[in-house]
Amino acid sequence: MSVTDSTPSAGFTPPTRFAVPGRIAVSNRAAATWQRATLTEVRRETPHAATFRFAVPDWEGHLPGQHLMLRLRAGDGYVAQRHYSIASPPDDTGHIELTLDHVDGGEVSGWFHTVAKPGDEVEVRGPLSGFFAWPGDRPALLVGAGSGVVPLMSMVRHHRARGLSVPLRLLVSARGPEELIYASEYGAETAPVFTRTAPEGVPVGRVSAAHVAALLADRPEGGWEAYVCGSNGFAEHASRLLVDAGQPVDRIRIERFG
């Protein structure tokens, strides 16, 4: 995997400004090959979310922010496949972690939350997609909601594991403290925002222009690379706040969970 600043092929460049140049060249072989992943551990994060750790012996490595495709197969050959962001940082040799929300009536997340146990096998292909990857080089402004924090947490963990000095900030929105995924892992880089219930003295409300202004105020040299992740509604809201606060559109990357 190599880090690039622009698009890998120097071909046609549209006259319109390219909003989201890819950050890395992705391996087509990894994207094409299904691999066995064995569940080794399940950790509860919140009443609705849990982390699933897998052994994937042939995992070729990923960058924070990338996702994979996962599939389950029923006895009659029926297959269900979904995308999941990778929660673990790179270098967790031979292991990856995913954090899944339990979606009401969800086919795949339902299986994980009610049936799966260590020893079970699923299949994955990836890592996929380079545009949301963060190689750890540029100052990163991360804004996520709900399980949208998952790929951003991979970035936070990578930043810590490598002792990187490049600035990194995380603004994470959750319904309440008990719904905040990875709550015990956050440090000074993180500002949580609670939309329904909050601890004594902490305001309740959506991510606002004031939150974003506070983050953008201490502009690092070269400016921020913004990564926004969550539901489409949240992504639209947060990305608009960033644009209104002066963040250039070509330095906002958005991963929408649908």
Ligand X SMILES: Cc1cc2nc3c(=O)[nH]c(=O)nc-3n(C[C@H](O)[C@H](O)[C@H](O)COP(=O)(O)OP(=O)(O)OC[C@H]3O[C@@H](n4cnc5c(N)ncnc54)[C@H](O)[C@@H]3O)c2cc1C
Please report where in the chains the tokens 């924090």 appear, as a residue. 149
CA distance 65 to 55: 19
Cα distances from 111 to residues 108, 148, 201, in angstroms, run 5, 20, 38
Residue 214 interaction partner, one of ligand X, another protein, none, beta carbon < 5-8 Å per kind:
none
CA distances from 153 to 16, 28, 116, 117, 194 (A): 33, 25, 23, 24, 18
Nearest residue to ligand X, by Cβ distance, number only = 106
Is residue 209 within the footprint of another protein (CB under 8 A)?
no
How far is 200 from 220, CA to CA, in rounded Å? 33
Under the binding rule (CB under 8 A), the answer on residue 246 touching another protein is: no
Helix (H) or strand (E) holding 151: helix 150-161
Residue 198: name its binding partner from another protein, ligand X, none (Cβ under 5 to 8 Å by kind): none
* Interaction site with ligand X (CB under 6 A): 67, 82-85, 99-101, 103-110, 147, 150, 255, 257-258
Scanning 71-79, 174-182, 196-204, 210-218 for contacts with another protein by CB under 8 A, the matching segment is: 71-79
Shortest Cβ distance from residue 251 to another protein (Å)?
A: 10
Q: Which is nearer to another protein, 49 or 128 (CB)?
A: 128
H or E segment to which residue 217 belongs: helix 209-217
DSSP secondary-structure letter at 9? S
209 contacts 241 by C-beta, under 8 angstroms? yes
Q: Which does 45 bind (CB under 5 to 8 A by kind): another protein, ligand X, none?
A: none
CB 238 within 8 A of CB 149: no
Assess 189 for contact with another protein (CB under 8 A).
no
Distance from chain centroid for Cα 39? 20
Nearer to another protein, 84 or 182 (CB): 84
Question: Which of another protein, ligand X, none interacts with 50 (beta carbon under 5 to 8 A by kind)?
Answer: none
The stretch near another protein (CB under 8 A) out of 2-10, 40-48, 55-63, 199-207 is 2-10
Footprint of another protein (CB under 8 A):
7-9, 11-12, 14-20, 22, 25-29, 31-34, 36, 69, 71-76, 78-83, 107, 111, 115-116, 120-123, 125, 128-132, 232, 235-236, 239-240, 242-243, 249-250, 252-256, 258
